[in-house]
């Protein structure tokens, strides 16, 4: 039976292929999240903000929230987006201030083929809409955002600034008081749950570390099912820079947020991610080098809700050579540990609990404008993430399992087997047994080699397919 024991290892190896790419993993404590879109470092040349797809080549990054969507109901009834230098040359849809950026949409699709989770961050330091005047207006706003950035809806007249690209969810990053945001977020959750595609969608938030967060408290105080939060542990007294191994003098308050996860959050499996500045100029206060951050991470690993590290932002992290890689070493391999949590789009997620009794529908939004992009470039101001905005890091995909196809398994025969063979030893031919073992090992080794060749072929085919997709999306 020994050659067949070899075969038991191969399903494990085959299963590992599906987890080789990075993504938001709600079962992991090692996610790395990195914001993109605001060119925070403001560098030149290769230190300037690069296209989104450039950062998706980094296997240590799991999630990229793109920032920001600055208005839900902007001029002409359309949202407003701004991605700094990357969107400055985008056309603008006529009668609105919504930029049409199909190249960014193609980058999103490229990133998704590489396993990255791409979210749209709503808010930022320059968000001044103040939320919504009523719950119904909030629901209409959620419908508009879903039609604009989610799966294409039949009959919808909503403009599609990112083309056919479908984002993986939405991130709530409000820096000032907002109204009726629970109704907005709950409607978004209802739309996610009603979606019939196989794509996973997520809702996340980026509160500041003082608890409770004043801007996002309406979403976080219990009525909304949130998958993960990345807490901005900087620009405040409770930042990672005020961590101390002596708990009596440490002001770093991850424990408060862990308690929120267990006792207040509607989703009791919610992940809490440590938000940090990725370099010295990313925030007013709170930056610590990776060697010091490793101590914070090690301390925080005792909390079940820990989901990884978030960084603000990509340009800062890349200017700080080795920062992302060192954080990965501190967190450990991607998809490492973490408590079990439900699929974000499964029917087990609690349903919307908005106080508005109006029934949720997925019909096309009535206030979506119908126009095509003009040839003029938008002159809207770039929304710079304010100094105290979060930095998000996320863990990389699961490391492939190393295999040794030439290893010969040792015998696992039972004592009873040995006794039985000793009774009939005079009938056994040692040469025959040796030949049987050789044949068994030969079969196991050949099967192993053939499977390895098959796996290598699959990997090469995936790489080739990824290259073709990347080439086609950039035509």
Q: In sequence order, what DSSP letters do the residues of 194-256 get, joined into one string?
A: H--SS---EEEE--BSSSS-TTTHHHHTTTS--SEEEEE-SSSTTSGGG--SSTTT----HHH
Q: How far is CA 16 from CA 19, 328, 435, 452, in A?
A: 5, 20, 34, 13
**pLDDT higher at 371 or 310:** 310
- pLDDT mean across residues, the chain: 79
Q: Which of 24-28, 365-369, 415-419 has the lowest mean pLDDT?
A: 415-419
Q: How many CB atoms lie within 10 A of CB 357?
A: 6
Q: pLDDT value at position 19?
A: 36
Q: How many CB atoms lie within 10 A of CB 423?
A: 8
Tell me the pLDDT tens digit for each residue of 1-18: 444 444 444 444 443 343
Nearest Cα residue to 54 out of 119, 110, 117, 115: 110
The answer to whether the CB of 50 falls within 8 A of the CB of 34 is no
Q: Which of 132-136, 160-164, 208-212, 389-393 has the lowest mean pLDDT?
A: 389-393
3-state secondary structure of 375: strand
The number of angstroms, rounded, from the C-alpha of 119 to the middle of its chain's C-alpha atoms is: 7
Q: CA angle at residue 467 from 320 to 62, to 5 degrees?
A: 40
pLDDT band at 413 (very low <50, low <70, confident <90, very high): very low
d(CA 13, CA 463): 18
Tell me the pLDDT tens digit for each residue of 199-233: 999 999 999 999 999 999 999 999 999 999 999 99
d(CA 153, CA 107): 22
Tell me the pLDDT tens digit for each residue of 228-250: 999 999 999 999 999 999 989 99
Q: pLDDT value at position 172?
A: 98
d(CA 214, CA 169): 23
Is the pLDDT reported for residue 35 higher than 70?
A: yes
Q: pLDDT value at position 451?
A: 53
Is the pLDDT reported for residue 440 higher than 80?
A: no
Q: CA angle at residue 449 from 448 to 455, to 5 degrees?
A: 90
Residue in 21, 80, 175, 390 annotated catalytic: 175
DSSP state of 67: E
Q: Which of 115-119, 334-338, 363-367 has the lowest mean pLDDT?
A: 363-367
Is the pLDDT reported for residue 280 higher than 70?
A: yes
Q: Which of 260-264, 270-274, 283-287, 403-407 has the lowest mean pLDDT?
A: 403-407
Q: pLDDT value at position 450?
A: 55
Q: Which of 177-186, 311-320, 350-359 has the lowest mean pLDDT?
A: 350-359
Q: pLDDT value at position 457?
A: 55
Q: pLDDT value at position 423?
A: 38
Note the CATH architecture for domain 21-377.
Alpha-Beta Barrel (3.20)
Is the pLDDT reported for residue 353 higher than 80?
A: no
Q: pLDDT value at position 128?
A: 85
Torsion angles phi and psi, residue 121, rounded to 5: -90, 125
Whether a cis peptide bond, with omega within 30° of 0, leads into 363 is: no
Q: Which of 37-51, 154-168, 449-463 has the lowest mean pLDDT?
A: 449-463
Q: pLDDT value at position 98?
A: 98
175 is catalytic: yes
Tell me the pLDDT tens digit for each residue of 115-132: 999 999 999 988 989 999
Q: pLDDT value at position 230?
A: 98
Q: pLDDT value at position 335?
A: 67
3-state secondary structure of 309: strand
């Amino acid at each position: 039976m020994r050659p067949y024991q070899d075969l038991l290892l191969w399903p494990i190896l085959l299963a590992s292929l599906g987890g080789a790419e990075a993504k938001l993993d709600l079962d992991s404590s090692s996610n790395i999240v990195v914001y993109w879109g605001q060119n925070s470092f403001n560098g030149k040349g290769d230190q300037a903000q690069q296209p989104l797809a450039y950062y998706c080549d980094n296997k240590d990054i799991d999630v990229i929230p793109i920032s920001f969507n600055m208005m839900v109901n902007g001029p002409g009834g359309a949202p407003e987006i701004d991605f700094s230098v990357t969107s400055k040359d985008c056309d603008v849809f006529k009668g609105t201030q919504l930029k049409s950026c199909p190249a960014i949409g193609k980058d999103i699709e490229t990133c998704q083929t590489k396993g990255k989770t791409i979210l749209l961050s709503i808010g930022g330091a320059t968000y001044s809409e103040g939320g919504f005047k009523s719950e119904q207006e909030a629901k209409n706003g959620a419908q508009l955002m879903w039609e604009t950035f989610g799966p294409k809806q039949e009959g919808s007249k909503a403009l599609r600034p990112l083309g056919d690209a479908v984002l993986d969810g939405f991130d709530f990053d409000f820096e000032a008081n907002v109204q009726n945001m629970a109704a907005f977020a709950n409607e978004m959750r209802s739309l996610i749950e009603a979606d019939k595609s196989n794509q996973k969608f997520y809702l996340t938030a980026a509160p500041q570390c003082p608890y409770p967060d004043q801007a996002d408290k309406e979403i976080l105080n219990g009525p909304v099912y949130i998958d993960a939060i990345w807490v901005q542990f900087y620009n405040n007294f409770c930042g990672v820079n005020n961590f101390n191994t002596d708990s009596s003098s440490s002001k770093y308050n991850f424990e408060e947020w862990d308690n929120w996860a267990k006792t207040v959050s509607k989703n009791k499996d919610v992940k809490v991610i440590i938000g940090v500045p990725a370099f010295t100029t990313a925030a007013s206060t709170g930056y610590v080098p990776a060697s010091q951050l490793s101590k914070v991470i090690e301390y925080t690993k005792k909390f079940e809700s820990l989901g990884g590290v978030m960084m603000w932002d990509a340009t800062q992290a890349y200017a700080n050579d080795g920062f992302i890689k060192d954080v990965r070493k501190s967190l450990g391999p991607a998809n490492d540990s973490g408590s079990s949590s439900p699929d974000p789009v499964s029917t087990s997620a609690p349903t919307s609990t908005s106080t508005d009794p109006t029934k949720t529908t997925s019909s096309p939004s009535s206030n979506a404008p119908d126009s095509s992009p003009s040839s003029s470039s938008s002159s809207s101001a770039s929304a710079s993430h304010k100094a105290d905005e979060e930095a998000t890091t996320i863990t990389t995909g699961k490391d492939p399992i190393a295999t040794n196809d030439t290893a010969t398994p040792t015998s696992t025969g039972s004592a009873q087997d040995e006794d039985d063979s000793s009774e009939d030893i005079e009938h056994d031919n040692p040469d025959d047994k040796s030949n049987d073992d050789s044949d068994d090992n030969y079969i196991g080794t050949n099967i192993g080699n053939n499977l390895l060749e098959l796996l290598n072929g699959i990997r090469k085919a995936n790489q080739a397919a990824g290259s073709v997709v990347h080439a086609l999306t950039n035509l």
